[in-house]
Chains A and B, each alone.
Chain A
Amino acid sequence: MATQSNFYKFSNTLYNPFGFASMLKEENTIISERKASFKSNIEFKKHIENKFQNVFVSTLKNQELEIDYKNQIEFLLEKLFLENEFVTKDWLNEIYVSNYNDTKFLINILKIIGNLDKKLLKSFGIVISGSALVHKNVEVKEMAIRVFENWNTIESYTFLKNCSLVPKWLNDYKNEVLANIEEELCLI
């Protein structure tokens, strides 16, 4: 029969102070690892901002990047993506938003995005290209269609299906891309 003291003993075994301490210790490790990882993310972002951002923005604002082969700046961006995908995406998103008014920058960044591996960018690239479809500049819109065309996914299809573009040649191009995606993904 369990006495009161036995109950406390039992109860104490249930809430084993040793086990709880180890849980706390484990939690502390997780938290400190998170902190370390958060810190390293901040450092990585600072590294991009200090070492890469100026040359990246300046290149995209002042050069017309070739579409048929990769520029050195694209290789460097790809390297950053492979090093830390999430921070690079976050940084690129900020850069994209803050330069949305600069047509040359937008055309070039869409050229780069279109040539990057879609697995690397995932929905981020789709959102960027989707927002470019509503830009007033025709060349920006054309580059956005090209990104969707290169990625050839159901998400691309959804975005293109829901927009109507001018001038006519651009809308024709979009419709042809739509038809190609429908055929390749068997959507009809």
Chain B
Amino acid sequence: MSYLVRRISRAKWDNEEYDYSNDDNAPSDAITSCLRTFNNELSTWLIDDLKDLNQAILCLITGSKQENINTIHLIYFDIEEINKRGLSIEKTTGDTVISQYQGLHFDIKSLNYETLGVVKDIVLDCLRKDYYKTITKKTLKDILRESVNKSKILDKSLLNEKLQSKF
């Protein structure tokens, strides 16, 4: 089963004022911060199986502008949800210095007020089903080191210089 992966800020969706488990009316900060579109599109990364989650994680932390390594929160959902819920995706080149993974990037496209609400429902479903992960800084460093030293999929010199010095 293939999954789409997206980074979120869990605190915007699960906090002292909002209980995601029984309320579909997510706070506007969650929408405008975690679902901020550009050209009416939202960025996601595709993985063929959950065991490939590290691929998506690597893509999320090896963007050309990335300077720091910080704990990330992410959600993942079955790619079939896109069709089922009347959304559409398009394969585009992703912002990662790992050229082999650039093709794993998909934009959820042509979003508007209504369809952005559908994406919001997907996020809430992910949280309710626990299709969610927190990846701490230490784990991120381990993944980066592994990709440089073992699998050699990542050429460290292509990363932002500040990031290079952090693992």
Contact = CB atoms under 8 A, between A and B. Distances in A.
A155 interface: no
Contacts of A169: 10, 14, 132, 134
Contact of B33 (A64, A137, A184): A64
A139 interface: yes
Most chain A beta carbons < 10 A, residue from B14, B66, B132: B14
Contacts of A167: 14-15
A173 B72 CA distance: 11
A173 B132 CA distance: 13
Interface of A: 64, 67-70, 114-115, 136-139, 142, 146, 149-150, 167, 169-170, 172-173, 176-177, 180, 183-184
9 contacts: A69-B68, A70-B67, A136-B16, A139-B12, A139-B15, A149-B71, A150-B70, A170-B11, A173-B136
B33 A176 contact: no
A68 B15 contact: no
Contacts of B40: none
B65 A68 contact: yes
A137 B63 CA distance: 30
Contacts of B68: 67-70, 115
Contacts of A136: 16
B137 A149 contact: yes
B contact face: mostly helix, strand, loop, or mixed:
loop
Given A149-B136, A173-B136, A180-B136, A137 B67 contact: no
Contact of B66 (A68, A115, A142, A149): A68
A173 B134 contact: yes
Interface of B: 9-12, 14-16, 33, 63, 65-68, 70-71, 132, 134, 136-138, 160
Contacts of A184: 138
Nearest to A64: B33
Contacts of A146: 70-71
Contact of A69 (B10, B12, B67, B137): B67
A110 B132 CA distance: 24
Contact of B14 (A115, A138, A150): A138
Contacts of A170: 11
Contacts of B66: 68-69
Contacts of B138: 180, 183-184
Given A68-B67, A150-B137, A176-B136, 15 more contacts: A67-B68, A68-B70, A69-B67, A70-B68, A138-B11, A138-B15, A139-B9, A139-B11, A139-B12, A146-B70, A149-B71, A149-B136, A173-B136, A176-B134, A184-B138
Contacts of A149: 71, 136-137
Nearest to B61: A68
A173 to B, nearest CB: 5
